[in-house]
Structure 1
């Protein structure tokens, strides 16, 4: 009888310790400031003229449809690891003039959806080019809220070169990678030391 009581007490203590550990970990993650939804709000405040789409809005209404141009606003090394299907890479540092030379003539009737790691670089580019694209006849210019990190955090499909499926995403840097919930599914690609210490 004492053995059963002892085992029962030990099990309760173990469950309590595991629960406490989980609670402390969640608290630490929240306390370190790495909340993607909070970052999304901060980006929206920083770029108030840029409209954003949630993942659901994008998937339900736009993804894969004609007249949608999906632009990945990340560096080549990030793009090479993974991207959204049918997206095209655009350098984050592309000038407004270069961008318009490439897209303005074909913008009429199209909707442009831009994304990057978390939405900052894509919002930055959208703010630079949106009025000119609208004048050229585009239906809209949007930032994908939360970027590829939100996409990855919700286990949405990603592809790499050759349109091959992958579960990996480039974390941009060790610091920014903290916004990813599946950190074990990250890769810096061929250059594994790229931005690893930022």
Structure 2
């Protein structure tokens, strides 16, 4: 069901019904049940959080935030998270490409009792657009970002795009 919902979103974007701004897109597709954290706030040295990447493994391997833990979207496993993060009050930041898939995963965590969860506003795209570093599967800094689909490349600037 979640794959179908996401496919519909991509198809709508492909046929020119996309939103005018990232803010519009997030308002349309997110429920605001999970608070956002800005990329600037997350990048601050005193921000201590567990960072979860909710994209698919092929996206994560191209680039991810430093120390991010890949949890995926299609195969997300709540039981693995409970073992990985037993303290449900721990500060957690989830992200995806722009913040739609990550809200879905964050809501699952919230329903399971996690109480200190944030969705990274604009996801890895906004992170990179603001000049913050991303790392590939070899943990080397890269300028590449996997855009999930060609339609979503419009949300990225100053990067090498990978599909």
TM-score bracket, normalised by the shorter chain, equals 0.7 to 0.9
Whether 1:37 aligns to 2:37 is no
Task: Give me the whole-angstrom Cα distance separating, in 2, the residues matched to 1:113 and 1:62.
Answer: 14
Would you say the 8 A contact 2:145–2:161 is kept in 1? yes
Q: Hey, what does 1:87 align to over in structure 2? A: 68
Deviation, 1:47, is 1.9
Q: Hey, what does 1:165 align to over in structure 2? A: 141
Deviation, 1:41, is 3.0
Structure 1: state its 5+ residue gaps. 1-30, 189-198
**Which of 74, 91, 95 in structure 2 is aligned with 1:111?**
91
Question: How many residues end up aligned between the 2 structures?
Answer: 147
Structure 2: state its 5+ residue gaps. 1-16
Would you say the 8 A contact 1:34–1:179 is kept in 2? no
Q: Hey, what does 2:13 align to over in structure 1? A: none
Richer in helix (by share):
1
TM-score by length of 2: 0.78
Would you say the 8 A contact 1:36–1:150 is kept in 2? no
Would you say the 8 A contact 1:119–1:144 is kept in 2? yes
Deviation, 1:126, is 0.6
